[in-house]
């Protein structure tokens, strides 16, 4: 099992819109395709920071879910085109992490 720690930077003044879009559109869509979203966060002191975490049981599961989400017509036609207005996509940082024995989440 591993996690993706995804750190995003929103466009100026767009964090509230981005969080709403994530929580009302992207997260429900991805969960509906089988993704496990562990958490969704905003920066306490950084007004453009948005972070979320997804969990995968294996690399093959991640590949299958990426295909189901990112190659779907819904993503390509309706969701993805709206993202650049809210998110600085050049600043996306994705880190794959594994929990240690002391981690609460497994």
Query: Mind listing the pLDDT tens digit for each residue in 50-94?
Result: 999 999 999 999 999 999 999 999 999 999 999 999 999 999 999
Give the mean pLDDT of the chain. Answer: 97
Considering only CA atoms, which of 27, 49, 42 is closest in space to residue 93? Answer: 49
Q: Given this model, what pLDDT does residue 59 score?
A: 97
Task: Using a pLDDT cut of 90, give the percent of the chain over it.
Answer: 96
Reported as a pLDDT band with limits 50, 70 and 90, residue 21 is very high
- Provide the Cα torsion 43, 95, 54, 38; round to 10°: -50
Residue ranges per structural domain of the chain: 2-94
Q: Given this model, what pLDDT does residue 23 score?
A: 98
5 - beta bridge partners?
Answer: 53, 95
Query: Cα(87)–Cα(83) distance, rounded to whole angstroms?
Result: 6
Q: What is the pTM of this model?
A: 0.94
Decide if pLDDT at 105 tops 90.
no
Q: Could you tell me where the beta strands, DSSP code E, fall in the chain?
A: 2-9, 36-42, 49-56, 93-97
Decide if pLDDT at 29 tops 90.
yes
Query: Within 10 A of 87 (CB to CB), how many other CB atoms are there?
Result: 22
CATH architecture for the domain at 2-94: 2-Layer Sandwich (3.30)
Sign, CA dihedral 66-58-25-22, equals: negative
Decide if pLDDT at 106 tops 90.
no
């Amino acid at each position: 099992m591993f996690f993706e720690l995804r750190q995003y930077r929103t466009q100026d003044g767009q964090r509230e819109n981005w969080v709403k879009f994530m929580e009302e559109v992207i997260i429900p869509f991805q969960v509906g395709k089988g993704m496990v979203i562990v958490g969704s966060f905003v920066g306490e002191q950084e007004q453009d920071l948005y972070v979320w975490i997804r969990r995968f049981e294996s690399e093959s599961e991640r590949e299958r879910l990426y295909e189901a989400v990112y190659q779907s017509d819904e993503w390509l036609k309706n969701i993805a085109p709206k993202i650049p207005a809210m998110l600085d996509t050049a600043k996306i940082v994705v880190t794959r992490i594994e929990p240690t024995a002391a981690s609460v989440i497994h």
